[in-house]
Chain A
C-alpha cells in the first residue's frame, strides 16, 4: 500500500486539485478528464484556498477502520473556491453543525503499526479556532 499512498502525497498533504480551462469546473481529487468537456478537456493543476463550509457531516461511533480512534467526525466540505471534499473535522462533536465555516490543517490520519508508514493528510478545524 505504500506506493499507492506515496504517489498521491502532493494532493493529500495540501488542497491541490485540478480544473478544466475549457469550462472552469474544478476537481478534488484531481481528474484528467473533465466530465463536462470530455475530449475537449483542458486540465490544469490548481491549489485551492484553505477555507470552506460544512454541507453535511457524521459523528462516527463504530467503524471497521482500525486506524481511527472513535468517535471521529467525517464531513463533506464545499471549498470557497473549489469543489466538495470529504475530510475529517478536528473539533468536538458538540461544536459541529451544517453551514459551519472551516479551515484546512495538516494532520495525522494513522499509521501501519509501529514500524510502518505514517499516514498524514488534510483535515479541517472551525475557521475561527487558533
Chain B
C-alpha cells in the first residue's frame, strides 16, 4: 500500500442554510478544498461522495454525477460515486478514497460529504435520520434514534454511575469549542443549569444531549505521498481508515453499551497506523448524542469500560486537556450535516495537525476521527499524523 496524504481541505458553514441550495453548499466546500490544495481541477482522477438520503430530503438521486457536473468536472468525465452508511456516509467516502489512492488505482481523489436537510420540515428531517435504525422493528414501536441512545444512556448510568451532569459536561465542552469555530452552527456557550433544565427529548436525554440536523458539506483531497509533495510541504498523512459493522438493532447486541463496530474498527486502525490509543493527541468523536461520545472514550480504548465519565470529570477532553475531543464543536455544536460529518471531522483534524486551526489550535501530531452510523451498526475510524 502507498502512503496517503491530505493535500486540501474545505468546509461549508454548517447550520440552517435557508438561502443556499444543495448545489451551492457542496460547491462552497469543494472550491475551498481545491483552493487549499493548489490544484487546478483537471488533476482529479475520481470522486467519492458521502450522502445519506438526498432521495428523501430532496427527491434527487444520482447526486455523485450531479456534483461532478456542477463542480465543472463533467467534460473531464471524472468517475463520481455516492456511498451511504447513514450518518457514517462521509467516513465511508473517505475510506473509499483512501483505498483508491493507497492501492495505486488513482493518484489524486476527492472525498466529499454533503447533506441538505432543511428543504423538509424538522419532523420529516428527524424521521429520515431515524431510518438509520431498524424501520420495521425499532421505529415502528416508537423507538426512534434519540430513544435508542436514551436506553443506552440509562443502562450506562445504572451500571457505571454515569450522571446527567457528565453527559451535560460533554455538551457544554462542545458548545464552548464551537465559539472558536467560525463555521460552527451554535457559536455560544451554555451553562450546566441551562443544559440540565432543558426539556426531555427521551429520558434521560434532554435537548442539549442531542445534536441538531444541519445543512452542510465538506471535502478533502487525497494524494499519494510522491504526488502530494508536489503540492504542499505541510503534509498530513491519513495513516489508517478502517470500517466495521454490527447488528443494526440495539436489541440484538450482546452488550448494548459497547459499540463492537467502534472497538473493531479502532483496533484495526491502531494496528495499521502502528499507534496506541495513548499516543493520540486529538480526536473528533461522533457525538450525535452526548452518550455516544462518552461510550466512544471507552470503546476507542482511551479509558476502561465504565470510566468514560472520569474523562469528563477530570477535564481530560477539554481543549486545554491531555486529549482534546471535538475542538470543532462536534456534531452537537458545529452541527450534524449527516453525510458530511465524517468528512468534516477529517477537515478539523487536518487543520489542527497543519497548525491552521486558528483560535482553537492545539498542539498535536497524531489525530483520530470516529464517524458512527445510526446507533453504531457502522463505524469508521481514521488516524492522521504529520511526518
* A34-67, CB < 8 A from B: 55-66
Docked pose: A95 CA to B281 CA in angstroms: 46
> CB distance A109 to B140 under 8 Å?
yes
Interface-centre pick from A60, A66, A75 (highest chain B CB count, 10 A): A60
> CB distance B141 to A109 under 8 Å?
yes
**Given A58-B202, A63-B147, A121 and B137 contact (CB-CB distance below 8 Å):** no
Q: Which of A29, A65, A76 contacts B142 (CB 8 A)?
A: A65
Q: Which of A64, A84, A109 contacts B251 (CB 8 A)?
A: A84
- Whether B256 is near chain A, meaning CB under 8 Å from some CB there, is yes
* A58-93, CB < 8 A from B: 58-66, 68, 72, 74-76, 83-88, 93
Contact-residue size bin, chain A (C-beta under 8 Å from the other chain): 20 to 34
What are the residues of chain B within 8 A of A8 when measuring CB–CB?
136
Interface-centre pick from A4, A57, A58, A59 (highest chain B CB count, 10 A): A58
Docked pose: A85 CA to B140 CA in angstroms: 13
- Whether B143 is near chain A, meaning CB under 8 Å from some CB there, is yes
Closest to B249 in A: A86
> CB distance A64 to B123 under 8 Å?
yes
B95 CB, min distance to chain A CBs, angstroms: 24
What are the residues of chain A within 8 A of B76 when measuring CB–CB?
none
What are the residues of chain B within 8 A of A22 when measuring CB–CB?
none
Main DSSP-derived SS at the B contact region: helix
Stretch at the interface among B124-132, B179-187, B232-240, B312-320: B124-132
Q: Which of A60, A65, A66, A86 contacts B250 (CB 8 A)?
A: A86
Stretch at the interface among B105-113, B149-157, B162-170: B149-157
Docked pose: A52 CA to B352 CA in angstroms: 50
> CB distance B256 to A76 under 8 Å?
yes
> CB distance A58 to B251 under 8 Å?
no
> CB distance A98 to B154 under 8 Å?
yes
Contact-residue size bin, chain B (C-beta under 8 Å from the other chain): 35 or more
**Given A65-B142, A66-B123, A98-B158, A60 and B147 contact (CB-CB distance below 8 Å):** yes
What are the residues of chain B within 8 A of A74 when measuring CB–CB?
141-143, 147, 151, 202
Complex interface bits, B187-210 against A, C-beta within 8 A gives 1, otherwise 0: 000000000000111111100000
B129 CB, min distance to chain A CBs, angstroms: 9
Closest to B124 in A: A64
Closest to B201 in A: A62
> CB distance B158 to A58 under 8 Å?
no
What are the residues of chain A within 8 A of B130 when measuring CB–CB?
64
> CB distance B141 to A58 under 8 Å?
no
> CB distance A83 to B251 under 8 Å?
yes
Docked pose: A8 CA to B337 CA in angstroms: 34
Which 3 pairs of residues, A with B, have the shortest CB-CB distance?
A58-B150, A64-B126, A56-B151
Which residues of A are interface residues toward B (Cβ below 8 A)?
A: 4, 8, 29, 55-66, 68, 72, 74-76, 83-88, 93, 98, 109, 119, 121, 123
Known: A60-B142, A86-B251. 8 other contacts (CB 8 A): A56-B155, A58-B150, A60-B201, A62-B146, A63-B202, A64-B122, A84-B252, A98-B158
Which residues of B are interface residues toward A (Cβ below 8 A)?
A: 122-124, 126-127, 130, 136-144, 146-147, 150-152, 154-155, 158, 199-205, 249-252, 256
Can you list 14 A-B contacts with CB-CB less than 8 angstroms, sorted by A residue number? A29-B136, A56-B154, A56-B155, A57-B151, A58-B154, A59-B200, A59-B202, A63-B142, A64-B124, A76-B151, A76-B256, A83-B251, A88-B142, A109-B140
